[in-house]
Amino acid sequence: MSLGRSVGTSVGIDEISFYTSSYYLDLRTLAEQQQTDPEKYYVGIGQEKMGMAAPDEDIVTMAANAALPIIERIGREAIDTILFATETGIDQSKAAGVYVHRLLDLHSNCRVVELKQACYSATAALQMACALVARRPESKVLVIASDIARYDLDTPGEATQGCGAVAMLISQNPRIMTVSPDVGNYTDDVMDFWRPNYRSTALVDGKYSTKIYLRSLKKAWEHFSEVSSLNFNDFSYFCYHLPFSRMAQKAHQHLAKLNRCPLTSEQVELQIADTLKYNQLIGNSYTASIYIGLCSLLDNRDEDLAGKQIGFFSYGSGCVAEFFSGQIQAGYQSRLHTDRHQTLLSRRQEVSYDEYLSLYHYPDPQQGESLDIPKTTQGRFRLAAITHHKREYIPC
């Protein structure tokens, strides 16, 4: 790390909060329906449940619910930019964050923009937010990542669906984690997972996507090693993009091997197991998953993490990848929303296979048909109707 950069303003995550829907399908139910061994899901891909959005929930309502506890703490006037990352945008033109801006009653001098690059864009948003704060240290940027992962029924991807949103407040002198400007990047034009504008479900070459994920990890790590003074052994924990938990376990073994530091399965577990806990219950949340992994580590790790270096591998199919690092700050515990996260997860309702199908097939008007949507969500905001091609969001 060059001395010139390290003496600048310390910038990073001052607050972090996540939200997911109130419904889930247990993957045992899916396995039973498909006459598959449930261990394929529970052990083979390392997932237990997948979040299913209610009819009146989408990326906007989840995002507003994720950000609300932060706004309640810091006030509505503090935010000057919202960077909204998503793979499952609801409009080709209007940024989803503009709806969130109104729902949270933020001030009108706040800028709002949406970012896209599959599951990677929240990391671009985080880095851009850090750059904005470094340029104007008194500013506070709200980074939001929100996604609903959808694959076709009866495809290998079906068991890796899910939904969730995460909101992070980026500021100077952050009270949870500083983010280092030293990053390793990798970009390659590949077709491992994509979603043309006319499709609501992703197309994916599943096995190929896992190979590209691992190759991108190697390339991003190699670049990171050129620009950073940190070595593999300097990191205590690692947060990976989490399409499914087993992917992170494979990635971590791969990275350890690349660094000639072969790890026992117990060491792999120690360095990543706590990052996986929430994702195993939520499923893939695309852009949000790596940062829900950070929440999971902060909420569940039973030791003081202050001073620990965390390695992050962010991956977005297509593909763009980044390895970066963060250092946990003393006293971070007082900034967490652990009780709220755990209550949210414990109050979710399980759905039957038929209920899952009706949530999956809930009408999504494509031609301007009007739709009044009954109140189902347990969240604080909902999508009440779609009329004249307009989505109507209201507080509950």
Residues annotated as part of the active site: 87, 119, 241
**Hey, what are 29's tokens?**
């139910």
Helices 353-360 & 27-34 angle (0-180, nearest 10) = 100
How many binding residues for ligand CAA (CB under 6 A)?
26
- Shortest distance in whole angstroms from residue 44 CB to ligand CAA: 2
Angle between helices 96-103 and 59-74 (to 10 degrees): 40
286 is a contact residue toward ligand CAA (CB under 6 A): yes
For residue 174, the minimal CB distance to ligand CAA (Å) is 27
Asked if residue 44 lies in contact with residue 246, where contact means CB atoms within 8 angstroms, the answer is yes
* Identified binder of ligand CAA from the candidate list 40, 195, 223, 308, rule CB under 6 A: 40
**43-102: which residues touch ligand CAA (CB under 6 A)?**
43-45
Q: Which residues does residue 147 pair with via DSSP β-bridges, in sequence order?
A: 164
Residue whose C-alpha is closest to residue 316's, from 218, 212, 228, 224: 212
Q: Which is nearer to ligand CAA, 71 or 281 (CB)?
A: 281
**Neighbour count for residue 369 (Cβ, 10 Å):** 12
CB distance 76 to 274 below 8 Å: no
Q: Does 119 bind ligand CAA (CB under 6 A)?
A: yes
Q: For ligand CAA, which residue of 93, 207, 303, 361 counts as binding (CB under 6 A)? A: 207
Q: Is 37 in the site for ligand CAA (CB under 6 A)?
A: yes
CA contacts within 13 A on the Cβ side of 149: 29
- Contact between 305 and ligand CAA by CB under 6 A: the answer reads no
- The nearest distance, CB 87 to ligand CAA, in angstroms, is 8
Establish if 243 lies at the interface with ligand CAA (CB under 6 A).
yes
The beta-strand segments (E) located in the chain are: 11-19, 23-26, 49-52, 81-85, 111-115, 141-149, 162-172, 177-179, 184-187, 193-194, 203-204, 237-240, 309-316, 320-328, 349-350, 371-372, 381-387, 390-395
Q: Report d(CA 351, CA 272) in Å as an integer.
A: 29
Is 87:318 a contact under the CB 8 Å cutoff?
A: no
The stretch among 50-58, 171-179, 180-188, 202-210 that binds ligand CAA (CB under 6 A) is 202-210
Residue list 332-371, contact with ligand CAA (CB under 6 A): none
User: Smallest gap, in angstroms, from Cβ of residue 155 to ligand CAA?
Assistant: 7
Rounded to 5°, the CA angle 377-379-385 comes to 55
Closest CA to 309 of 292, 323, 321: 323
Closer CB to ligand CAA, 208 or 376, in the complex: 208
Closest to ligand CAA by CB, 150 or 391: 150
Of all helices (H) and strands (E), which one includes residue 90? none
Which residue in 150, 219, 241, 301 binds ligand CAA (CB under 6 A)?
241
Choose, by CB under 6 A, the member of 54, 204, 298, 328 that binds ligand CAA.
Answer: 204
Considering only 9, 33, 210, 236, the residue that binds ligand CAA (CB under 6 A) is: 210
Q: Is 21 in the site for ligand CAA (CB under 6 A)?
A: no
Q: Which residues bind ligand CAA (CB under 6 A)?
A: 37, 39-40, 43-45, 119, 156-157, 160, 192-193, 204, 206-207, 209-210, 213, 241, 243-244, 247, 284, 286, 315, 317
